[in-house]
Each structure stands twice: as structure tokens, then as C-alpha cells.
A and B are shown apart, each in its own frame.
Chain A
């Protein structure tokens, strides 16, 4: 595609990534209880989205490219979701000794 982003945008995204990296390190040093993993994941997803949308240019690309980019994540959800469907229901039957 012919869209050219400004240098300023790239620097802004780079700066945001640096800040989020500092946040990643900082929250690793603080005990947030049950929120430890969700918050760490949220920061990681934010960083990934910045890279995908701006550095990889998906935001300015065709809908087809967006579908392709999204489909990888949808398939990841299928893989993790259904696999966890196994792990989370293993104990439901109440088999003695398990």
C-alpha cells in the first residue's frame, strides 16, 4: 500500500513501547495478587498491537490484510480455548483419587 506514516508517529510508537516495557518491569516487581497475570498480559497485548498496527502497517492496509492478521489470533484462541476446555473440566467427574 502507498500509505507513508510520518516519522513523528514512529517515534511516538517507539516511545510508547519503551514506556510499556518499563511498566512491564515495574509490575513484575509488585504483587498485584490475582491481577498479576491479567495486567502483565494486557501490557504485552498493548505492545503487540502497537507493533502490528503501526510498525507492520496493518492499520493502513486493506481489509483482507486485516482479516489475515486477525485470523492468526482467532486460531490461537481456538488452540488455547479448547485445550483449556479440557484442563478446566478434568476434575468435574469427581473420580475418586483424582
Chain B
């Protein structure tokens, strides 16, 4: 059944003009506004990264001063994590797709959804103000005493921006949870939900349970700085490691805020490009919840060498090994889904396979770091930098870009050149590995992170890494170029260009404002490719006879 008709204008056409966007309550428009915002911050964070990599071309600190280098890596982290990665998939693809995928007209609280975007922007303004007033040099973690008694940069402004933006995250998570509970279409039972929804449900739990803790932690830093409360200052009975406990209680689960939605995207893409029911649906669904819950119990693995008790470290180390299990369940199930599937080599396929390879390496090297003895050697080296970039960039951003490529026709009504989609995926994959694989070696050899100068022996690997960053940047720029260029072409996307299942592919591209002309009724499981095709498990693509 097709729920869209040509009678109603699409969400892009109905009310027009700047205020119709800035005051919109349509989840799809808010998703697009977030997409533009996070892309801007990705570019800003990328510029900071370019500065870092340029400095590291030579062993001497000759391009940037040590102080400026400190500020660049801090701002790179702050911008990329709080203003790009955390909202990247949930606030863009999540906002756009969650109501459609469950058969609803909008999120449960459309005004709160718009409010979350404004809060995000206000938070961003504060942090950008910190950049223009001289920057901040604490590292993205705002560790005390760098951010408290030993601070000499704009910590308050930058941290206030993060504090404010956290509320945007909480509101988004809260909106998603209520929407998923209350607004599913008739027949859309929990175990018929697309796995994208399960992943976002789990992500939302982390958002609302974890984010308040980092907000309170930032307030405690302010209280110490402004009112002299000695919470983290050991001279008056405080403990700087307490900051690390509170910070990582949020910030480790925040890793899952960044990667879980990516896993949701990948589940959609894997099934679609394999034309096959996802292998072990309920295991993949429950593994999202398991990651969200167990992810709250592992934060101490960031503190193995921070004077944390060795016994606490042991417990954290063991639980860290356990949290790897649900991630492995997903990876095995995605692979099993592709096995004997009718895999087609469209651009989303390239992104999803790229994701699996990079996430695998990122995840396995996480086990190295979760092992207490090995972490003593690897802690604060480039091995850690490489590991989390394999998860954050190789995992989350590959999934984000895969999702953008997959859903771009639905969001904009336009197709992009398929060849360009494939070339950019290959460029990003090659550029990424060239950038970050040498950093594993550098870290293993002992190069510490956060220094602007290094011994000459490390130069060749750093040159490779910087060259890779150039290729990576080129890949990203190419994507922006051809996606933006596609907006100036005629709308040519059919309702279902990939031959995928799901309510979002049964409505027109781009959708109408209320998503569905008539309320949908769901009568089949998610990813019913076998049922759709009749035989052979091969659903028809647009244009196929």
C-alpha cells in the first residue's frame, strides 16, 4: 500500500520562506536544520584537525606554538563530539525518520523538538564565543585542575556551551522515547519496529540518564571556580579524580550515543543492500539495549592510570570485556545477513561495508585498551587516538554518511550521481585508514598524544597520517559538493529507489508534511524482503521489471 499521493505538497514545498523553517514544528524540517548545523560544525572541527595534522608533518613545533596546538586539539574534540557526533545521526536522520518509520505524523512533542534545535544553537554560540575570545586548552574532557584552579583560558564559556547543548540532547532523547512508546501505528508492535528505532530508543535512554550527570559536573567546576567550593581541589579535601568519575559516567556512555544510532543505520542498510531479513532480529534489537545499559558500568577504564583503585580497575576491565559482546553480536549478525544475500553494489553498500571493517578494528583495539596491564603502556598514546577515531569516524561517521546517502532521495526528492557516491566512499575509506592506521603504530611505539613536537623517528608515520587526512578531507568535500549540486536538479527520486522495505519507502519522496495521506496499518515484520519478492528473496528495485 502506498500512503502518499500527489494531492498534498511535500514538506519542502508547503509553507515557504525563512520563518516557515525557523518556526517549523515539522520533524522533517527540524531534521534538515540539524543536518545543516552539524555539517557546519563538522567543517569547523575539520579545520581544527587540519591545523593539528599540518603541525605534525614535522617533528619540530614549527607551525603552531604549543599553546595554540593545545587549543586546537581541545576545540577539535569539543566541536566534533558535542556539536557534531552526538547530534549527528539522532537529530538529523532520527528526527526525520523515527515518526515515519513507526507510522506517526510527527514526534510526540513537536515544539520541544524545535526548542531542542534552538538550545543546540545557543550552546554552540557560547562555545564559538570561547573560540573567538582566545580558545580553551583543557582538552575536550575539561579535566580538573586544567579547568579549575590551573585554568588560564575560556573554560567557563566553552563548558557553558556544552552544558546548554546537553539539554538539547536530553529533550531529543525524551521526545524519542515518548514517541516510540505512544505513537506507533496500529500493528507496529515492538518486534516489528525497524532496528533503527531500537537503536534510537537505546540511545535516548543513555541521553536522558547520562547527560544530566555531565551537566552537574560542569556546574560543580563552576561552583569551585566561582565560589571556592573545594570539590576537586585536593588542597582543601577535594579530589580531581572525582571529576573523572563524574565526567566519564556520562562521557563513556556518550560514546554509545554516538555509535548506537550508527548501528541502527547500518542495520537498515545491511538488510536493504542484501535484500534479506536481518539475521537474528531480536538479538540485534536487545543488543542495543544491552550496550546502553552495560555501557554505563565501564567508565573507569578511562582511569586505569589515574590513581583509581586497582580493584575498581579490575572490575571495570572485566565489564569492559562484557560490553564488547553485544557489539560483536551485531557485527556477526550483519555479516550473517549479507551471507547468501542478494547483495547489490550501490553506494550505500560501500559505506556499510566500510563501516563494518573500520568498526571491527576500532572495537577490537578497544579490548586492548580495556586490558589493564596493556593500558599502562598504551594510555595517552596515539594508540588511543587511533582507536577512538576508528569508532567515531570509521564507525559513526561512515554510518552517518551511509545513512545520508541512503535516505537523501527520501529527504530531498533528488538522486545523486551513484558513481560519485561510490568514489567518495572509497576515498573516505582509504583516506581514513591512511590517517589513522599509522597512529596505532605510533602509539604502540610510544608517541604520546597532545604534544606538538615529537622525536624524528616518528616523522614518516606522521607524514603518512597527514597525507591520509588530506585524502579524507577531499572525500568529505566531494560529498558536500555533489549532494548540494543535486539540490539544484529536478526532483527525480522515486518513492523507493533502493527497493527497500519499511513505511518510509511507501510514501512519496520527499514526504508530505503529515507523512501519510491515510493512517498506515502495519501487517508484516520489518525487513520482509522474502515476502515482498514472492520467491528468491529479491525485492524489486525501482525500474526493475
Contact = CB atoms under 8 A, between A and B. Distances in A.
A88 B241 CA distance: 14
Interface in B160-181: 181
Interface string A34-77: 00000000000000000000000000000010000001100100
Contacts of B300: 82, 86
Nearest to B239: A87
Given A71-B209, A75-B209, A85-B315, A92 B309 contact: yes
A79 interface: yes
A93 interface: yes
B131 interface: no
B309 to A, nearest CB: 4
A2 interface: no
Given A71-B209, A79-B213, A89 B309 contact: yes
B209 A86 contact: no
B308 A86 contact: yes
A78 B308 CA distance: 17
A6 interface: no
For A82, A85, A88, the residue with the greatest tally of chain B CB atoms inside 10 Å of its CB is A82
Nearest to A76: B213
A87 B209 contact: no
A75 B246 CA distance: 12
B245 interface: yes
Given A64-B181, A71-B209, A75-B209, A87 B309 contact: yes
A79 to B, nearest CB: 5
B350 interface: no
B296 A86 contact: no
Contacts of B308: 86, 90
Interface-central residue, B296, B312, B315, by most chain A CB under 10 Å: B312
B542 interface: no
A24 to B, nearest CB: 22
Chain A: interface size category: 10 to 19
Contact of A79 (B249, B311, B312): B249
A89 B249 contact: no
Interface string B9-34: 00000000000000000000000000
Contact of A86 (B181, B213, B297, B312): B312
Nearest to A64: B181
B112 interface: no
Interface string B231-264: 0000000000110011001000000000000000
A79 B309 CA distance: 16
Nearest to B299: A82
A12 interface: no
Interface in B193-246: 209, 213, 241-242, 245-246
Contacts of B246: 79, 83
Given A64-B181, A72-B209, A75-B296, A82 B311 contact: no
Contacts of B307: 90
A83 B311 CA distance: 12
A86 B309 contact: yes
A92 B315 CA distance: 15
Contacts of B242: 83
A79 B300 CA distance: 11
Interface in A3-27: none
Contact of B245 (A86, A89, A93): A86
17 contacts: A71-B209, A72-B209, A78-B297, A79-B246, A79-B249, A82-B300, A82-B312, A83-B242, A83-B246, A83-B249, A85-B311, A85-B315, A87-B309, A89-B309, A89-B310, A90-B307, A90-B308
7 closest Cβ contacts across the A-B interface?
A: A86-B312, A89-B309, A89-B311, A90-B309, A83-B245, A86-B309, A75-B209
Interface of A: 64, 71-72, 75, 78-79, 82-83, 85-90, 92-93
Interface of B: 181, 209, 213, 241-242, 245-246, 249, 296-297, 300, 307-312, 315
